[in-house]
Amino acid sequence: MMAREKSSQAEEATGSPNTGGVKKSRSLVLVPFDALPDWLKDNNYLLTRHRSPTGSFSQCAKSIFRLHTETMNIWTHILGSLAFVALGVFWYIDFYPSREDILRFHPSKLPWQEQLSHLLFLGSAVLCMGFSAIFHTVSAHSSGVAKIFSRLDYSGIAILITGSNIMWYYYAFYCHDEVRSLYTYFIVIFGSLCVVVSMWSKFSMPGYHRVRGFIFLGLGLMSLVPVFHVLSLYGWTVACHNVAMMSLIYMGISYVSGAIIYMLRVPERFFPGKCDIVLHSHTIFHILVFIGCLLTYDSMHTMAFTRYLKNLRGLTSCNTIILESGSVPLADAKMEL
C-alpha cells in the first residue's frame, strides 16, 4: 500500500510514462511562448496565452472552452466538420424542394458512381476538419500524443484534396472515361504519398512548417493540369456551365491563399502579440479551408443538377449547355449546341 502511494506521488511529480514525462495538471495553465517546451513552440509571433503541457486528455477537452492560442483553431473546424455532416444529411433529404416534380432532383436518382464521388468529397471534408479539431484540442497533452495526432491532421489535408478532386474529375471528364480514370489514379497515388510523408516523425516538427505548406500546396496545384485539359476540350463557356469552373477557381484561390498565409505567418509576423487569440495565420488558414470546402460543395450542387437535367433531356454530349433560370419547366429549358 505504501509502495503504491509512493509510486502515485512520483508519477504526479514527474509525469507517468503514458504522458511522455509530462506532469498531469489539475487545471489549465496559460504561459508565454518562451515558457513552452520546444515541441510546443510552433509560432514565435504568438507571444502569450499558450497552453502549457497538460498530460491530461480531460484538461485538453476542457480547454476548448478557454481562450488561448488554439481556441479559434479548434472551433473553426469543430463547427466546420459538423456543418458538413449537416450538409451531407441535407443533400440526401431534399435538394430542390421548390422545383416542379419533373425537375425534382434527388441524389438517390443518380448513378452509384456519381453518389460515391459525392460521398468521397463530403466524407473527406468531415474527416479533414474533424482530424484538425482533434489535433488542436489534444496538442498540449504531451509530445508523443501531439506527434500522433498531428499526423492525422496532415493526413486529413491530403484526404480532402484527393476527395475534392475525385468528385470534380467525375463531372469534368464525364464523356472521357479513360482520361477520368487516369487523373483519378494520379491524384489517389500522390494523395497517398502525401499521407505517407505525413507519417514521417520530423514532418510535424515546428521547423518544418514551410515544408508542410509546400507539399500540400504542390498537391493542390496539381489540379491545374486537369483544369487546363478541360478548357482545351470544351472552352471557357461550356466549362463554366457544365463543370462550375468559376467555383473551382474560387476554391483554388481560397486553398492556395490559406497555404501561403500559413507559410508566411501573416498577419502576426507584422503584429507580434496582437493576434494571439483571434485571426492569426493558422486560424485564417482554417477559415479559408472551410470556405474552399463550401465552394466545392456549391460546385457539386451545380454540376450534379446540370448533369441530371442533361440526362433527363437525353443530352449525352458534354459539349451541350442547358440554360435555365428559376423554376423553368423542363419542356421550356433552352439548349445551346
Cell of 268: 502576426
Structure confidence at residue 175 as a pLDDT band (50, 70, 90): confident
Contacts of 166 (CB under 8 A, 6+ apart): 117, 120, 121, 184, 187, 188
Residue corresponding to grid cell 437525353: 314
Residue 205's pLDDT is what?
67
**How much is the pLDDT for 103?**
52
The rounded distance, in Å, linking the Cα atoms of 63 and 198 is 26
In the DSSP assignment, the letter for residue 70 is T
245-264 and 224-242 helices cross at what angle (nearest 10)?
140
* 145 vs 100, residue with greater confidence: 145
Reference 291, options 333, 328, 254, 262; nearest CA is 254
260-269, 288-297, 310-319, range with the lowest pLDDT: 310-319
Interatomic CA distance for residues 128 and 83, integer angstroms: 13
Percent of all residues in the chain with a pLDDT value above 70, rounded to a whole number: 79
pLDDT bin (cut points 50, 70, 90) of residue 278 is: very high
Give me the pLDDT at residue 316, please. Answer: 67
Domains identified in the chain and CATH numbers: 70-336 (1.20.1070)
CB 125 within 8 A of CB 163: yes
Cell 477537452: give the residue: 61
Please calculate the CA angle 248-252-257 and round it to the nearest 5 degrees: 150
| Crossing angle between the packed helical segments 209-221 and 177-198, to the nearest 10 degrees | 170
Q: What is the mean pLDDT of the chain?
A: 82
Gap between the Cα atoms of 70 and 210, Å rounded: 19
pLDDT at residue 5 in the model: 40
Question: Can you tell me the distance from the alpha carbon of 8 to that of 30, in angstroms, rounded to the nearest whole number?
Answer: 25
Whether 336 shows a pLDDT value over 60: the answer reads no
pLDDT band at 3 (very low <50, low <70, confident <90, very high): very low
327: pLDDT strictly greater than 50: no
Lowest-pLDDT choice from 55-69, 80-94, 193-207:
193-207
Tell me the pLDDT band of 317, cut-offs 50, 70 and 90. Answer: low
The residue ranking higher by pLDDT, 255 or 210, is 255
Kindly state the average pLDDT of the residues 241-248: 88
DSSP 319-334: T-EEE--TT--GGG-E
Phi, psi of 22 (to 5 degrees): -85, 130
Task: Classify 212 in phi/psi space as left (phi over 0), alpha (psi -120 to 50) or beta.
Answer: alpha
The C-alpha atoms of residue 61 and residue 99 are separated, in whole angstroms, by 45
Bridge partners for 322 per DSSP: 335
Q: How far apart are CA 85 and CA 286, in angstroms?
A: 17
User: For the ranges 140-144, 179-183, 306-310, 327-331, which has the lowest average pLDDT?
Assistant: 327-331
pTM of the model: 0.84
What is the average pLDDT across 100-129?
Answer: 82
Alpha carbon 248 to chain centroid, angstroms:
15
Q: What is the pLDDT of residue 328?
A: 35
Is the pLDDT reported for residue 138 higher than 90?
yes
